[in-house]
């Protein structure tokens, strides 16, 4: 199939057509080494295509192209850059269904509940940032009446963006759209498990943006992501992934004295008070835990503290809601819940379920495994709700990145706030109550980058998103984050005497 940029309906053919390419300097090219690796459909275990296996040579080509392109890109008027980014958003919106199908195929995320939604948010993020070009303002400073003193916002240069597999389109958009509008050029390194849809997005953007502004590499972390962070012409790194890799990236960035933004893991608490609207809280737990994404979210509300007066009713209702969800072929419109991403992750999640049982927890397995023989090799796993589990059991403490929620019973508000804050993480937190004082108090005391009352929204354009403690450094998705992380402020003084 030719690599046509009109919307495609067959994700299998598209995966084949995209196989074996990076996007460097406006061209789809093979890896310098000629090597590729398999991309697997987690719902069947079948190989659906190949990704180019990038190494330091590919990084060199991509970063040089980005550095070269930046000279002209940063000189375009900011609103003109924004207009081009807006055009990317408009084009990507026309591809939402196509991108949704492709991401469902390579990640196993259900099309209706997850993948198509993500493709829509991808486009929205571009549209949001595309309108912000004229907000790249500086200040005038009352320093000395004889000296005209101003600050201007300048791009940092070439940005390296390293993304994970769970919501690769959204996370990519949060990094590259503001970076480009601010006058930077970008090299994106996709995740091993989800390279093809990211490449398709780049191919579509490449019809609009000048060559080299935007480059995309696939490959393994240490072989391709490592050289990207270490490249002398990369001026800033924005990373989303695990805490362990985040530390490696931060160390490498520290060696080069370049800024780094890190969006890492989470073990987010959700507190349900006895006066909460229980049905709303139950819906909040379903969304918060991302059951439709098999819990593969860094903000998953995986520690749920429920007041003893409503605990049993809450557990029964959540269980009934998850039981009613259909697990099946991610591409089927009837499917609510798809698969786990990879065999390694599948094993890891199962290990946590076993550890929780060993620690004395009661594991309630929900929903039903699909019966279709075509899916028998698929990485389907029944979501588990743990009750009667201690706070120190591994599934209660560690990030699982799977469909495992721990529900704890509490009586005392003060104690539950303390317990919620014991985690090494601090990404998101929610409280469910009808009492304004309790709500206000909790929003002040919960240690997290994103605290919500009586709702569980996910990342939204215009709201700063990011964690505290081990959940990361810096925020993304907002105007302030664009200014703070993708520009530097230059002070200029003109002595008029």
- Burial status of residue 302 (CB atoms within 10 A of its CB: 0-12, 13-18, 19 or more): buried
User: Between residues 64 and 240, which has the closer beta carbon with respect to ligand ADP?
Assistant: 240
**244 a catalytic residue:** no
Q: Which is nearer to ligand ADP, 229 or 272 (CB)?
A: 229
Of the pair 242, 421, the CB lying nearest ligand ADP is at 242
Among residues 233, 187, 189, 177, the alpha carbon closest in space to that of 213 is found at 187
Nearest-approach distance from CB 71 to ligand ADP, in angstroms: 27
Cα dihedral 334/335/336/339 (nearest 10):
-170
Decide the pairing of beta strands 234-240 and 450-453.
unpaired
**Nearest approach, Cβ of residue 451 and ligand ADP (Å):** 24
Instruction: Compute how many other C-beta atoms are within 10 angstroms of the C-beta atom of residue 72.
Output: 12
Residue closer to ligand ADP, measured from CB, 54 or 133: 54
Backbone angles phi, psi at 150, to 5 degrees: -135, 160
Kindly state the smallest distance separating residue 315's Cβ from ligand ADP, in Å. Answer: 29
Single out the residue of 413, 100, 87 nearest to residue 276, CA to CA.
413
DSSP 476: B
**Nearer of residues 251 and 490 to ligand ADP, judged by Cβ:** 251
CB of 160 to ligand ADP, least distance (A): 9
Place of tokens 């990038």: 54
Q: Are the beta carbons of 88 and 126 closer than 8 angstroms?
A: yes
Alpha-carbon distance 455 to 434, whole Å?
A: 12
Shortest distance in whole angstroms from residue 148 CB to ligand ADP? 44
Dihedral over alpha carbons 479, 481, 487, 491 (to 10 degrees): 80
Question: Toward ligand ADP, which CB reaches closer, 249 or 451?
Answer: 249
Closer CB to ligand ADP, 155 or 241, in the complex: 241
Burial 2-29 (b: 16+ CB within 10 A, else e): eeeeeebeebeebbebbbbbbbbbbebb
The minimum distance between CB 241 and ligand ADP, in angstroms, equals 3
Distance CA 219, CA 236 (A): 20
Q: Are 77 and 63 in contact (CB under 8 A)?
A: no
Contact positions vs ligand ADP (CB under 6 A): 162-164, 189, 191-192, 221-222, 225-226, 229, 241-242, 245, 248-249
Question: Of residues 263, 399, 447, 484, which has the active-site annotation?
Answer: 263
Which residue in 198, 106, 215 sits closest to 158, CA to CA?
A: 215
Contacts of 63 (CB under 8 A, 6+ apart): 158, 160, 187, 215, 228, 231, 233, 234
Exposed e or buried b per residue across 101-140, where buried means at least 16 C-beta atoms within 10 angstroms of its C-beta = bbbbbbbbbbbbbbbbbbbbbbbbbbbbbbbbbebbeeee
List residues with catalytic annotation.
Answer: 263
């Amino acid at each position: 199939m030719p690599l046509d940029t009109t919307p495609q309906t067959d994700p299998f053919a598209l995966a084949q057509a995209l196989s074996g390419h990076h996007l460097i300097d406006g061209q789809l090219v093979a890896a310098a080494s000629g090597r590729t690796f398999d991309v697997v459909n987690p719902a069947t275990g079948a190989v659906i295509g190949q990704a180019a296996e990038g190494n330091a040579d590919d990084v060199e080509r991509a970063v040089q192209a980005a550095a070269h392109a930046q000279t002209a890109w940063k000189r375009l008027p900011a609103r003109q850059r924004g207009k081009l980014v807006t055009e990317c958003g408009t084009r990507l919106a026309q591809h939402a269904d196509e991108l949704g199908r492709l991401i469902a195929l390579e990640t196993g995320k259900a099309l209706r509940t997850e993948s198509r939604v993500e493709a829509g948010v991808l486009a929205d993020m571009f549209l949001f940032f595309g309108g912000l070009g004229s907000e790249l303002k500086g200040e005038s400073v009352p320093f000395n009446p004889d000296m005209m003193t101003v600050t201007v916002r300048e791009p940092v240069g070439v940005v390296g963006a390293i993304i994970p597999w769970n919501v690769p389109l959204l996370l990519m958009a949060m990094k590259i759209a503001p970076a480009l509008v601010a006058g930077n050029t970008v090299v994106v390194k996709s995740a091993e498990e989800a390279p093809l849809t990211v490449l398709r997005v780049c191919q579509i953007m490449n019809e609009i943006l000048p060559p080299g502004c935007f480059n995309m590499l696939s490959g393994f972390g240490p072989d391709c992501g490592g050289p990207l962070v270490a490249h002398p012409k990369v001026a800033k790194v924005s990373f989303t992934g695990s805490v362990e890799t985040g530390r490696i990236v931060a160390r490498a960035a520290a060696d080069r004295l370049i800024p780094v933004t890190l969006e890492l893991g989470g073990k987010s608490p959700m507190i349900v008070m006895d006066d909460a609207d229980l049905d709303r809280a139950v819906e909040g737990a379903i969304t918060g835990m991302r059951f439709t994404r098999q819990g593969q979210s860094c903000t998953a509300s995986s520690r749920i503290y429920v007041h003893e007066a409503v605990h049993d009713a809450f557990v029964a209702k959540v269980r009934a809601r998850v039981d009613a969800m259909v697990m099946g072929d991610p591409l089927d419109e009837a499917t609510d819940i798809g698969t786990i991403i990879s065999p390694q992750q599948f094993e890891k999640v199962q290990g946590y379920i076993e550890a929780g049982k060993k620690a004395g927890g009661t594991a309630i397995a929900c929903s039903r495994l699909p019966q279709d023989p075509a899916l028998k090799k698929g990485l389907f796993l029944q979501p588990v709700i743990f009750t009667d589990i201690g706070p120190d059991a591994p599934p209660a403490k560690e990030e699982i990145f799977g469909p495992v929620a721990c529900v704890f019973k509490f009586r005392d508000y003060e104690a539950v706030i303390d317990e919620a804050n014991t985690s090494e993480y601090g990404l998101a937190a929610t409280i469910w109550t009808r009492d304004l004082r309790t709500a206000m108090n909790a929003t002040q005391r919960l240690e997290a980058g994103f605290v919500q009352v009586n709702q569980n929204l996910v990342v939204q354009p215009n709201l700063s998103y990011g964690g505290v403690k081990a959940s990361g450094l810096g925020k993304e998705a907002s105007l302030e984050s664009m200014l703070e992380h993708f520009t530097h402020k230059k002070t200029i003084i003109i002595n008029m005497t």
